[in-house]
Structure 1
């Protein structure tokens, strides 16, 4: 898809396309369906992460302390948070079998800087609510970028912000970075 086309794509069409491409890739690859974490991480990195404003997501989850962090601390925090989210998302993706994504109609009058697209992942069992908070990015490579997710009624940024605030209050940004790194090491040993 060309850049000009991507810039004109509606937010709901963008989410439908990205979700469908990701699910189709999983369904076609036995290693992905069997929960091969390294392959799932590659898939998330190639299909999902280019569509995520990860700096904004990390800054929002970190709260006011983000602005006080050094550029190096911000980068480390972003890297550890991304790994945590990719591994969390990977666990869900390894459960994919016959699911499909249904995008609900957009609520009218939303702002392009904070637009919510509501979806349901349908398959066996109850549908799973998965909502995306998006912003439209201008300029070269313009298009929609995800900066928050709502899974089963819980917004990711709100959820992590309370955890991150506790860590920062207890020991500062470095304590939060170290805590995330330890959690990522523990998760890597499980997989």
Structure 2
């Protein structure tokens, strides 16, 4: 699970100008977003060690391009249909927060990889897959696919597949086990506690 998120982060932070920069296309949207993030980091290198500002950067520049409602719905699976609107909102909120924390945690861990962005593969008028090939410093080559859907005229990612392993599917297994043991509210509580613990650790490190 952590490897999936780390590779996703590496893609987002290290993408060079290999795709057409047109936000109306799924691959172009990825390129434009990355250029914005890289420009900010290059102008202000101190941001990498500032947890609060990193959270703001990730939340403002990267995550708006993900469809978290659909991602969470797919990750939770069948129990989503029996969850109340309040529970669904809470699940989306905590799932989103979890990914924000993951991004900021490994933000400065990896050097810029070499990334090749393939042309988007249109599956239908409103669904597309964007394949990327990542080459990291130790010689590894990793394939990452963004599953994108066009919503209200814009493209958003609803799943990420790393070397054939789906992020959503991976979470679905752990979420299913948690729901089976403690129910929807129990899953929400677990995610909330993990997010709070991560926040407390980050705050303690900053004070230290």
TM class by shorter chain equals 0.7 to 0.9
**Any runs of at least 4 consecutive aligned residues in structure 1 with deviations exceeding 4 A, and if so which?**
none
1:95 deviates by 2.8
5+ residue gaps, structure 1, are none
Closer/same/farther in 2, CA of residues 83 and 92 from structure 1, 3 Å limit: same
Cα-Cα RMSD: 2.2
Closer/same/farther in 2, CA of residues 81 and 148 from structure 1, 3 Å limit: same
Q: Who is 1:85 aligned against?
A: 99
Closer/same/farther in 2, CA of residues 20 and 100 from structure 1, 3 Å limit: farther
| Length, aligned pairs only | 180
1:152 deviates by 5.0
Are the counterparts in 2 of residues 132 and 150 from structure 1 also a CA contact under 8 Å?
yes
Are the counterparts in 2 of residues 134 and 148 from structure 1 also a CA contact under 8 Å?
yes
Q: Who is 1:158 aligned against?
A: 169
5+ residue gaps, structure 2, are 1-21, 203-208
Q: Who is 1:29 aligned against?
A: 44
Q: Who is 1:16 aligned against?
A: 31
Q: Who is 2:9 aligned against?
A: none
CA distance in 2, matches of 1:31, 1:127: 30
Structure 1 segment 68-83 matched on structure 2, within 5 A: 68-83=82-97
The correspondence for 2:128, drawn from 94, 99, 115, is: 115
CA distance in 1, matches of 2:35, 2:95: 25
CA distance in 2, matches of 1:89, 1:172: 27
Q: Please give the per-residue CA displacement for 1:51-104, whole angstroms capped at 9, x wherever unaligned.
A: 111111111111011111111111111111111111112223233544454212
